[in-house]
Amino acid sequence: MADASFTDQNFKTEVLGSQTPVLVDFWAEWCMPCRIVGPIVEELANEYKGKLKVGKLNVDENGKTAQSYGVMSIPSLLIFKNGQVVKTMIGAQSKDSFKREIDSVL
């Protein structure tokens, strides 16, 4: 299971203040590609446990954060390192594709 559920309220502490790189899955309940990516994100959370914090942010419930990072399409997966976005992945992709992008920043 993903490490965390991120919100507008906890984003600064949980993501920007994290000592570990963080993968944030920006998603929505109604988004079919998000539902496809969801299980992949869960697998990635398990595989990268201890190296990468993984969580989800529902854009319908937390629009302020999504807007502040220019998330216009979902699913969008952003990797934060030291409080900064270091990688953006947009749309449904294969697990191998996500792993390559994650490995490039870890």
Q: Is 34 a catalytic residue?
A: yes
CB 2 within 8 A of CB 42: yes
Tally Cβ neighbours within 10 Å of residue 61.
Answer: 13
Please tell me which residue in 4, 23, 24, 31 is annotated as part of the active site: 31
Per-residue tokens: 23? 């993968």
Per-residue tokens: 57? 């942010």
Would strands 53-58 and 76-81 be described as parallel, antiparallel, or unpaired? unpaired
Q: Which residues are catalytic?
A: 31, 34
